[in-house]
């Protein structure tokens, strides 16, 4: 791994901010690295305020969207809330449908089948709306490229409101309203919202129109926080405010569906990490293994016993998903080795029987092993479908655009995308993608990097220091958990490899300057054990976290990498 130090802020700025905030210079340095330079910016960062959310009507087409929904309500029309089958899509559908149902009954939900219909708005979904007398579809977390589908719907006298956050193509669909902060002609001040975030802006606008206050919307923020965490959008601006308040809801008054998962954790306070690793995968498992509507039903259920039954089914889906993703990952790794493709600049693998619901997870697993832009293909009807994942700094969406001559359909983000192509184009696409990556992936991006905020002495890690660090949360892209490096470390002799396959490393670390022992755990660092038992000093990169064990709470170092001095 490449160890990269974040740029050191100017000393004058560190001193000035330390004096203004009455904090030590290391905290000031961490704030300046996040672009926080003044007292007011620090106050905004440490005390996110729900009233600092932008006016939803600043988003292009918002007035048109609200007018059309109010018209549908006045005319007693049936409204279909339609969303993608992942966490962002299903939380969006749960959010908008449950909000509308608080004052209007003629609302139904629709999640496309991952296998029969594929990603985004489908002709089957529009046919369902036409057959069941729906005249308005609100599409969430999808639709920005559904040009033909919107035309098809209009011929059936069905209107569309599209709420999306993916990059538009050259043409915007001819819907009644297209809410997408990434539209070039949209001047909304923040363009990093997830799909559920755009859905929230819609209900925020509707609530203002109906004379409601932000207090009426707070109960929905657990859904928004979950989508923000799962969709890996920047933890800045509005996302940070929404996630901050959403976590308060999750910890104090979570919806019934979330309670069924939370009680398993036995934790006093849930963090965004718990949402990422506990709540989100279970919601995702429904759409991956069975159908996304199971997740929507769980998130909108108000009866605890019914929700528990749903949660048991989803827990089973999640168990099946884990087994499948391990099996397919093993098969994909063998395929890479058998085809002798380790020297390639990209990873592209395919098997017709691989489960479409887990190929995105498998792509991420392959990157952990072979650090390259990765696509995992499977058979989907008479086409091939793939999930793409990328390495840090490389725009896989742009790379796919350069291969578009061989692609039927694609969409997504810089680091994650989905596509379909005809089987006869697979080898041509694979060769072209490899050519594009080889030309455009810089040498330095071919090795994973760890970004370090600062060097630190272990003696400076105190409960008070950790309490201040904790207020940097919620963490996420562009506001990552602070990462430190310490030198001159030794294990006190009790270090060991842990885990069923001994893949993790548990150490009791001491430094030359400080004889106090610090507990440390390094997940996936079991192979560094010999380095730490030589008796010679080593240096380590780590985050600082709390460890709760048998009712006792202590600070521990979460090791990220270890090197010899």
329-349 pLDDT, tens digit per residue, is 999 999 998 887 778 999 999
- Give the pair of three-digit tokens for residue 560: 């990220």
Q: In angstroms, rounded to a whole number, what is the distance separating the alpha carbons of residues 250 and 224?
A: 11
The mean pLDDT value for 362-366 works out to 95
The residues with which 107 forms a beta bridge, in sequence order, are: 79
Q: In angstroms, rounded to a whole number, what is the distance separating the alpha carbons of residues 160 and 353?
A: 35
Return the domain boundaries, the chain: 2-7+450-564, 56-253, 339-446
pLDDT at 292: 84
Q: In angstroms, rounded to a whole number, what is the distance separating the alpha carbons of residues 459 and 525?
A: 24
Reference 33, options 556, 483, 557, 485; nearest CA is: 483
Output the DSSP codes for 8-48. PPPHHHHHHHHHHHT--HHHHHHHHHTT--SHHHHHHHHS-
Q: In angstroms, rounded to a whole number, what is the distance separating the alpha carbons of residues 415 and 432?
A: 19
Residue 18 has pLDDT above 70, yes or no: yes
Residue 289 has pLDDT above 90, yes or no: no
Q: In angstroms, rounded to a whole number, what is the distance separating the alpha carbons of residues 526 and 496?
A: 8
Q: Are 221 and 266 in contact (CB under 8 A)?
A: no
- What pLDDT digit, counting tens, does each position of 203-231 carry? 999 999 999 999 999 999 999 999 999 98
263/454: higher pLDDT = 454
Q: How confident is the model at residue 517 (pLDDT cuts 50, 70, 90)?
A: confident
The mean pLDDT value for 495-524 works out to 88
Q: How confident is the model at residue 492 (pLDDT cuts 50, 70, 90)?
A: confident
The pairing of strands 538-549 and 484-491 is antiparallel
Q: What stretches of 86-218 adopt beta strand conformation (E)?
A: 107-110, 134-140, 159-163, 177-179
pLDDT at 465: 94
pLDDT at 134: 98
- What pLDDT digit, counting tens, does each position of 123-170 carry? 999 999 999 999 999 999 999 999 999 999 999 999 999 999 998 989
Q: What stretches of 405-535 adopt beta strand conformation (E)?
A: 409-412, 416-421, 449-452, 454-455, 484-491, 496-498, 504-511, 518-522
Q: Are 214 and 183 in contact (CB under 8 A)?
A: no
Q: Hey, how many other C-beta atoms are within 10 angstroms of the C-beta on 117?
A: 16
Q: Do domains 56-253 and 339-446 have the same CATH topology?
A: no
High-pLDDT (> 70) share of the chain, %? 99
pLDDT at 493: 84
pLDDT at 263: 75
Instruction: Name which of 187-191, 250-254, 317-321 the model is least confident about.
Output: 317-321
Reference 175, options 209, 141, 201, 151; nearest CA is: 151
Q: How confident is the model at residue 284 (pLDDT cuts 50, 70, 90)?
A: confident
218/415: higher pLDDT = 218
CATH 3.90.1640.30 for the 56-253 domain, yes or no: yes
pLDDT at 105: 97
The pairing of strands 159-163 and 177-179 is parallel
What is the chain's mean pLDDT, rounded? 93
Cβ contacts of residue 341 below 8 Å, gap of 6+?
A: 347
Q: What is the DSSP letter of 559?
A: E
CATH 2.40.50.460 for the 2-7+450-564 domain, yes or no: yes
pLDDT at 513: 62
End-to-end CA distance of the chain: 15
57 alpha carbon, distance to own chain's centre: 26
The mean pLDDT value for 539-549 works out to 90
The CATH code for residues 339-446 is 3.10.310.30
pLDDT at 514: 67
Residue 255 has pLDDT above 80, yes or no: yes
Q: In angstroms, rounded to a whole number, what is the distance separating the alpha carbons of residues 423 and 362?
A: 21
| pTM for this predicted structure | 0.89
pLDDT at 250: 95
Q: Are 194 and 227 in contact (CB under 8 A)?
A: yes
């Amino acid at each position: 791994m490449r160890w990269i130090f974040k740029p050191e802020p100017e000393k004058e700025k560190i001193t000035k901010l330390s004096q203004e905030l009455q904090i030590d210079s290391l905290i000031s340095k961490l704030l300046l690295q996040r672009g926080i330079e003044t007292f007011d910016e620090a106050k905004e960062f440490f005390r996110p305020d729900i009233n600092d959310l932008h006016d939803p009507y600043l988003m292009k087409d918002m007035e048109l969207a609200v007018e059309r929904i109010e018209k549908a309500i006045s005319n007693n029309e049936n409204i279909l809330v339609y969303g993608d089958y992942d966490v962002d899509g299903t939380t969006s559908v749960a959010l908008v449908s449950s909000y509308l149902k608080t004052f209007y009954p003629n609302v139904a939900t629709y999640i496309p089948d991952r296998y029969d219909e594929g990603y985004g708005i489908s002709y089957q979904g529009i046919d369902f709306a036409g057959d069941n007398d729906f005249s308005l579809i609100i599409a969430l977390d999808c639709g920005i490229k559904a040009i033909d589908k919107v035309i098809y719907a209009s011929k059936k006298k069905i209107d569309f409101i599209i709420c999306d956050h993916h990059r538009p193509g050259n043409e915007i669909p001819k819907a009644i309203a297209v809410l997408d902060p990434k539209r070039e002609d949209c001047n909304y001040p923040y363009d990093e919202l997830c799909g559920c975030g755009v859905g929230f802006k819609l209900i925020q606008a509707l609530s203002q129109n109906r004379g409601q206050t932000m207090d009426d919307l707070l109960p929905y923020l657990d859904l928004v926080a979950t989508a923000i965490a799962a969709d890996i959008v920047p933890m800045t601006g509005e996302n940070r405010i929404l996630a901050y308040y959403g976590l308060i809801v999750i910890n104090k008054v979570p919806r019934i569906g979330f309670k069924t998962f939370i009680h398993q954790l036995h934790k006093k306070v849930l963090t965004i990490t718990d949402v990422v690793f506990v709540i989100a995968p279970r919601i995702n498992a429904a759409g991956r293994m069975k159908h996304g509507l199971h997740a929507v039903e769980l998130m909108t259920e108000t009866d605890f016993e019914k929700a528990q039954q749903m949660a048991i089914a989803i827990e089973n889906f999640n168990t099946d998903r884990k087994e499948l993703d391990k099996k397919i990952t093993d098969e994909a790794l063998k395929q890479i080795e058998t085809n002798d493709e380790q020297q390639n600049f990209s990873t592209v693998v395919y098997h017709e029987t691989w489960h479409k619901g887990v190929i995105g997870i498998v792509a991420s697993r392959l990157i952990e092993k072979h650090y390259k832009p990765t696509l995992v293909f499977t058979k989907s009807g008479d086409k091939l479908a793939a999930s793409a994942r990328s390495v840090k700094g490389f725009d896989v969406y742009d790379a796919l655009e350069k291969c578009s001559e061989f692609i039927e359909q694609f969409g997504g983000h810089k680091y994650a995308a989905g596509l379909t192509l005809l089987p006869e184009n697979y080898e041509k696409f694979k060769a072209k993608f490899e050519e594009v990556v080889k030309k455009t992936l810089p040498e330095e991006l071919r090795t994973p990097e760890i970004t370090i905020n600062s060097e630190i002495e272990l003696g400076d890690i105190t409960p008070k220091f950790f309490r201040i660090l904790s207020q940097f949360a919620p963490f996420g892209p562009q506001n990552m958990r602070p990462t430190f490096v310490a030198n001159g470390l030794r294990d006190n002799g009790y270090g060991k490899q842990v885990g069923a396959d001994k893949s993790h490393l548990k150490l009791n670390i001491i430094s030359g300057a400080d004889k106090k022992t610090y507990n440390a755990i390094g997940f996936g660092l079991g192979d560094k054990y010999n380095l730490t038992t030589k008796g010679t000093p080593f240096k380590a990169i780590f985050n600082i976290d709390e460890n709760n064990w048998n009712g006792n709470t202590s600070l521990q170092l979460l090791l990220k990498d270890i090197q010899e001095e």
